[in-house]
Structure 1
Amino acid sequence: MKLVTLFLFSILFASSASWADPLADKLSAAFQSTQPDLTVEHIADSPAQGIREVKLSNGEYLYATAEGRYLFAGKLIELSGTEFNDLTEERQRQDRADILANLDLDKSITYKAKDAEQHEVFVFTDVSCGYCKNFHNHIDEIVQRGITVHYLAFPRAGVASPVGELMGRAWCAEDQQSALTEIKVSNRLSQTPVPCRAPISEHHALAQKLGVRGTPAIFDQHGNSLGGYLDTEQLVSALNR
């Protein structure tokens, strides 16, 4: 959000014309000239009267005034009685839940829960990340607690980096689980990968859509962002909230 905030607050829409499609056109043109990696996915009414919500391709939400003159970034908070409800986070959670529900799990490296599965988590990982290695050190404890872990690749240095290439080899190994473990322990892989199309770029794009900025990034099956590194007890606690 920091990358777009300064730009967003400098935008002043001079026209007060009907702005359903015109607003999308204006925004798309503005982003194309300043931040071409961002696009407008859709514009809809927000729960606040007279305010429209704008969803961006990176999963973030912006808000615009009804006449289309002003655009602002931040959280839309509802005051309900004496409670604050983060409506923006709830929209993002729903989006994440939909994306994760339609994920092809055959393209993840999965460590299945022992006995009865109680929870599933989706973890974007980088084999060069120290906190990712620490999280993986607990993988046996985690699955023993009834938690299935689906690993997804997010090489922070980029898909074409040496780390991205090494992660691709893990995804193309015959024994993916042992390959990923070996790489995280020793930074090398003794297995000879089989020919395959590793989903590293696909996962990297998905991570950006979900707003992942670092690793590990942990999500539950309901689309809740659980944060970064958690040990086993912290993970169980977060899932049981």
Structure 2
Amino acid sequence: MLRPRRLLIPLLTLLIAAPAAASDAIEQRLAEVVPTDAPDAIEPTAIPGVFEVRYGADVFYVSEDGRYLIQGSLIDLETRRNLTEETREQARAAMFSEIPDSELTVYVPEREVRYVMNVFTDPNCPYCRRQHQEMQTYLDAGVKVRYFMYPVLGRESPDVMRNIWCSDDRNAAMDLAKEGKPVPEAHCDTPADEHLALGRELGISGTPATITSGGHQISGYRPAIEIIQTLNSAR
């Protein structure tokens, strides 16, 4: 399981308050203000003297002398591209590609898999149930659906989700839960804590939340046809 990380301190405040450093290395300055974590990537941008710094899916920009930090989206006005979001999508895609199906509840189409979508779901979420009712539409379109544990609605949600993950047939157990039916009790170790931490790192506050294999993040319920169109347009 990919261990999610999140920048937990106000970097902008720390960088402003930090004493001037003799070295112009961004890594050294970041090590001074964020000693508990190292950036995943530091890359030059199209703006001279400004570098893109990434921690997981968190992206910000730092001057080459390490003194100034910019938080926000970098937009190319000529192409109308959100360069920051493109970096975030690449980071999300890499994160989810490292998480194996064996850790999830997965629905695989009988036909060739054309797309993959990762869904943070809760058994007590009405819109999650509505999304699940459209499962066959996704499968017919060649979409593999990978469910992540995100039991945040209702005190019994964690227990229901555990019963699903520990079942001999997760898909059958998930189908029962999505129909509002009881799931036989089962016990085992689950990746619930890791999934919750990953969702929080991505800023997910509710379910369902969908991340495509290309890293595009969709919050809330969307009709299956709409999500499939989004997947088609990303090809």
Report the TM range for the smaller structure's normalisation.
0.7 to 0.9
RMSD across aligned positions (CA): 2.7
How far apart, in 1, do the equivalents of 2:196 and 2:127 lie? 18
CA distance in 2, matches of 1:148, 1:165: 25
Contact 1:168 1:199 in 2 (8 A): no
Q: Note if 1:162 corresponds to 2:168.
A: no
Q: Match of 1:88?
A: 84
Please tell me the residue identity of whatever aligns with 1:122: N
Please give the alpha-carbon distance, in whole angstroms, between the structure 2 residues aligned to 1:116 and 1:45: 37
Q: For 1:133, which of 129, 132, 141 is the aligned residue?
A: 129
Q: What is the percentage of aligned positions where both structures have the same residue? A: 26
- Classify the secondary structure of the residue corresponding to 1:41: coil
Cα displacement (A) at 1:227: 3.6
1:29-69 Cα deviation digits (max 9, x unpaired): 5xx7xxxxxx4434513313211223235x21121222222
- 1:167 Cα deviation (Å)? 0.7
3-state SS, counterpart of residue 188 of structure 2? coil
Match of 2:108 among 112, 128, 133: 112
8 Å CA contact 1:60–1:92 kept in 2: the answer is yes
Contact between 2:122 and 2:149, CA under 8 Å: does it hold in 1?
A: yes
Aligned-partner SS, 1:201: helix
Q: Which whole-Å CA distance do the structure 2 matches of 1:99 and 1:6 have between them?
A: 22
Tell me the number of residue pairs that the alignment of Structure 1 and Structure 2 aligns. Answer: 224
Q: 2:224 matched to 1:226?
A: no
Deviation at 1:95?
1.2
- Matches of 1:43 and 1:235, distance apart in 2: 30
Where does the alignment leave 5 or more consecutive residues of structure 1 unmatched? 33-38
Verify the 8 A CA contact 1:20 1:43 in the aligned structure 2.
no
Question: Which whole-Å CA distance do the structure 1 matches of 2:22 and 2:206 have between them?
Answer: 41
Q: Is the 8 A contact 2:26 2:65 kept in 1?
A: no
Q: Report the CA distance shift for 1:17/1:102 in structure 2 as closer, same or farther (over 3 A).
A: same
Structure 1, 89-98 or 209-218: larger mean CA deviation: 209-218
- CA drift at 1:240: 0.9
Residue of 209, 213, 238 corresponding to 2:230: 238
| Distance 1:145-1:43 versus aligned 2 partners, 3 A rule | closer
* 2:139 alignment partner in structure 1: 143
Partner of 2:171: 177
Greater mean deviation of Cα atoms: 146-155 or 43-52: 43-52
Q: Does 2:201 correspond to 1:206?
A: no
Are residue 97 (structure 1) and residue 89 (structure 2) matched?
no
Letter in 2 for 1:132: C
Q: How far apart, CA to CA, are the structure 2 residues paired with 1:28 and 1:157?
A: 34
Of the three residues 180, 185, 188, the one matched with 1:196 is 188
Deviation at 1:156, TM superposition (A): 2.7
Superposition deviation, residue 5 in structure 1: 11
Aligned partners of 2:128 and 2:207 also within 8 Å? yes
CA contact (8 A) 1:155 1:163 kept: yes
- Which residue of 2 is the match for residue 24 of structure 1? 30
Q: How far is 1:10 from its partner?
A: 3.7
Taking the aligned partners of 2:75 and 2:170, their CA distance within structure 1 comes to: 43
Aligned counterparts, 1:54-73, within 5 A: 54-57=53-56, 59-73=57-71
Q: 2:20 maps to which residue?
A: 15
